């Protein structure tokens, strides 16, 4: 019965008859198929095309920064349940003790680095090292509902990176070298290579906003070569496989960050962040005057005299800030707001400590008590009437 379901799924996705081939001790089943013709796609709006290469030399500990594989025309269908998809918008607790926030200051706590949509590079590395996951496990986790298949064209096609054409292996390896480097787990490198290649195919063999780093280590080239041509599909078309440096406990929902409702870019768990991610719970302080200046310079608004009302967070899935209501005067997207403050991710919280009230001096009594009047009179009587 299970085989029938898998075959039906493969037929639905490809429209062609498939012969089953089983992968031993794997979380996926491999089904061979013929080469597909891929339809043209509409380009996404500009706001969807965020740069995801701003994490140069970022790493788990320190980001210092093959053989040719056979051309496998395979569809890989995940048999994992999707119970790890998170649709919670429970409030994210702050990592800061309110008593430690200096008076008159805002304390922002951020989790992760980047837009946090799609594959988390550090998260993938954690799953490979501590969870024993292979690259397929990683990909199907961060891009739920997608299908992995070899295009069959990678060995001969040309890919353009920043306007310069080159062969697929060279271009993908150099981009992966910039994004994660050779110090990452081999399985995490493979997952990154597939995500990079798919992203390039989504943009019609153009790397779009990705950049490469020359002279990758041979181990990294071998890892990329072993998965060369494998790409993720959703409903027969290339998926938009976004990725970033790291996230906080959960990835972000694309609809919350970019207003793109993509079913395979949902909020999913990233289990090892709190224990191992160096960018989990980073705290940044701003004075009240700095916050006021930043907001008023960024938006056509004059803030009220009540700083406690300036920033009201509206959370989306996974605890990410979907929107920010500014002083009940305007609402902006959370990802755009965090850029104004140079916060590392759109998953952030804040605490505000009001300035301390100045101490008031005690007022002098209007009248001297009766007993003190008598003592004062006696003392005055002892003084000489005139100074010699």
Tell me the pLDDT tens digit for each residue of 188-226.
Answer: 999 999 999 999 999 999 999 999 999 999 999 999 999
Q: What is the pLDDT of residues 132-160, one digit of tens each?
A: 999 999 999 999 999 999 999 999 999 99
What contacts 72, CB < 8 A, 6 or more positions away? 150, 229, 230
- Chain mean pLDDT for the chain: 77
Query: For residue 248, what pLDDT is reported?
Result: 87
pLDDT at 94 over 70: no
Confidence of residue 333 (pLDDT cuts 50, 70, 90): very high
369, pLDDT greater than 90 = no
Q: Express each pLDDT in 268-300 by its tens digit.
A: 999 998 889 888 999 999 999 999 999 999 999
Q: Report the pLDDT value the prediction gives residue 310, as an integer from 0 to 100.
A: 97
Number of Cβ atoms within 10 Å of the Cβ of 125: 26
What's the Cα-to-Cα distance from 283 to each of 59, 99, 111, 214, 251, rounded to whole Å?
19, 14, 9, 34, 20
Q: Taking the model in full, what pTM does it have?
A: 0.71
Tokens at 2, concatenated? 């299970």
> How far apart are the C-alpha atoms of 217 and 238, rounded to whole Å?
28
Per-domain residue ranges for the chain? 2-83+116-260
Q: Is the dihedral of CA 334, 335, 340, 342 positive or negative?
A: positive
Write a three-state SS string for 56-89.
CCCCCCCCCCCCCCCCCCEEEEECCCCCCECCCC
| Residue 90 dihedral angles phi and psi, to the nearest 5° | -65, 145
pLDDT tens for 244-253 read 999 988 999 9
**The pLDDT of residue 111:** 94
pLDDT score for 348: 95
Strongest mean pLDDT among 41-45, 86-90, 172-176, 318-322: 172-176
CA distances from 258 to 48, 144, 236, 346 (A): 6, 18, 23, 11
């Amino acid at each position: 019965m299970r085989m029938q379901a898998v075959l039906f799924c493969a037929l639905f996705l490809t429209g062609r008859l498939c012969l089953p081939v089983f992968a031993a001790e794997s979380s996926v089943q491999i089904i061979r198929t013929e080469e597909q013709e891929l339809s043209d796609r509409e380009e996404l709006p500009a706001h969807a095309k965020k740069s995801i290469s701003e994490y140069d030399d970022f790493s788990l500990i320190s980001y210092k920064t093959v053989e040719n594989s056979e051309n496998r025309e395979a569809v890989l269908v995940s048999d994992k349940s999707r119970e790890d998809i998170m649709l919670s918008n429970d409030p994210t607790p702050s990592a800061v003790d309110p008593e430690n926030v200096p008076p008159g200051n805002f304390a922002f706590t951020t989790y992760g680095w980047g837009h946090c949509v799609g594959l988390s590079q550090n998260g993938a590395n954690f799953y490979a090292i501590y969870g024993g996951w292979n690259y397929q496990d990683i990909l199907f986790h961060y891009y739920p509902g997608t299908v992995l298949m070899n295009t069959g064209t990678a060995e001969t096609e040309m890919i353009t990176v920043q306007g310069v054409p080159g062969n697929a292996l060279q271009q993908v390896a150099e981009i992966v070298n910039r994004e994660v480097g050779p110090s990452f787990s081999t399985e995490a490198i493979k997952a990154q290579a597939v995500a990079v290649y798919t992203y390039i195919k989504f943009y019609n063999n153009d790397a779009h906003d990705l950049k490469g780093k020359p002279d990758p280590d041979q181990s990294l080239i071998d890892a990329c070569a072993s998965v060369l041509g494998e790409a993720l599909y959703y409903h027969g078309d290339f998926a938009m496989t976004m990725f970033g440096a790291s996230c906080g406990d959960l990835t972000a929902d694309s609809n919350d960050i970019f207003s793109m409702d993509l079913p395979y870019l949902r909020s999913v768990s990233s289990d090892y962040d709190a224990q191992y991610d160096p960018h989990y719970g980073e705290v940044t302080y701003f004075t009240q005057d700095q916050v006021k200046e930043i907001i008023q310079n960024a938006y056509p608004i004059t803030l009220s005299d009540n700083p406690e009302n300036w920033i009201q967070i509206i959370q989306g899935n996974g605890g990410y800030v979907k929107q920010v209501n500014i002083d009940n005067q305007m609402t902006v997207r959370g990802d755009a707001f965090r850029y104004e403050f140079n916060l590392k991710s759109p998953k952030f919280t804040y605490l505000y400590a009001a300035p301390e009230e100045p101490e008031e001096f005690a007022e002098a009594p209007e009248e001297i008590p009766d007993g003190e009047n008598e003592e004062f009179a006696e003392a005055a009587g002892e003084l000489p009437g005139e100074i010699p």
